[in-house]
């Protein structure tokens, strides 16, 4: 993602959950050079029949030029990651 000298306030990932697509945990990490990734943020997510949980990472930080994100999902079956929204100032 190209963000020249921007401050990323939060990052939200949209998932489809429920009975079949049970997601236990999501790990999010960021990189600015594409080689080394920083500390992973863990988000504990859904239980069956709970549809209103959000994957939200607040105060991501300042970006000089470029930033990339890696999402690791721990689930019992296939999952759907449907959208990513980032709030930048």
1 within a domain of the structure (yes/no): no
32 within a domain of the structure (yes/no): yes
Contact assessment for residue 46 and residue 23, using Cβ atoms and an 8 Å cutoff: yes
56 within a domain of the structure (yes/no): yes
22 within a domain of the structure (yes/no): yes
Tell me the helix, strand and coil percentages in the chain, rounded to 5.
Answer: 0, 60, 40
pLDDT score at 62:
86
Question: Domain range for residue 17?
Answer: 6-88
Q: Cα 17 to the chain's mean position, in Å?
A: 15
On the 0-12 / 13-18 / 19+ scale of CB atoms within 10 A, 19 is exposed
Distance (Å, whole) CA 8 – CA 58: 9
Whole-model pTM?
0.73
Beta carbons within 10 angstroms of residue 46's beta carbon: 22
12 within a domain of the structure (yes/no): yes
Give how many domains the chain has, as a whole number. Answer: 1
pLDDT score at 42:
83
For residue 18, pLDDT over 70 is answered with no
pLDDT tens digits for 31-75? 888 888 888 888 776 666 666 666 788 888 888 888 888 988 887
């Amino acid at each position: 993602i190209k963000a020249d000298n921007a401050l990323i306030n939060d990052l939200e990932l949209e998932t489809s959950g429920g009975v079949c697509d049970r997601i236990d945990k999501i790990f999010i990490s960021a990189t600015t050079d594409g080689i080394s990734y920083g500390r992973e943020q863990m988000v504990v997510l859904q239980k069956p029949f709970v549809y209103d949980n959000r994957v939200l990472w607040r105060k991501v930080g300042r970006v000089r030029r470029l930033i990339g994100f890696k999402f690791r999902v721990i689930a019992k079956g296939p999952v759907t990651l449907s959208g990513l929204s980032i709030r930048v100032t």
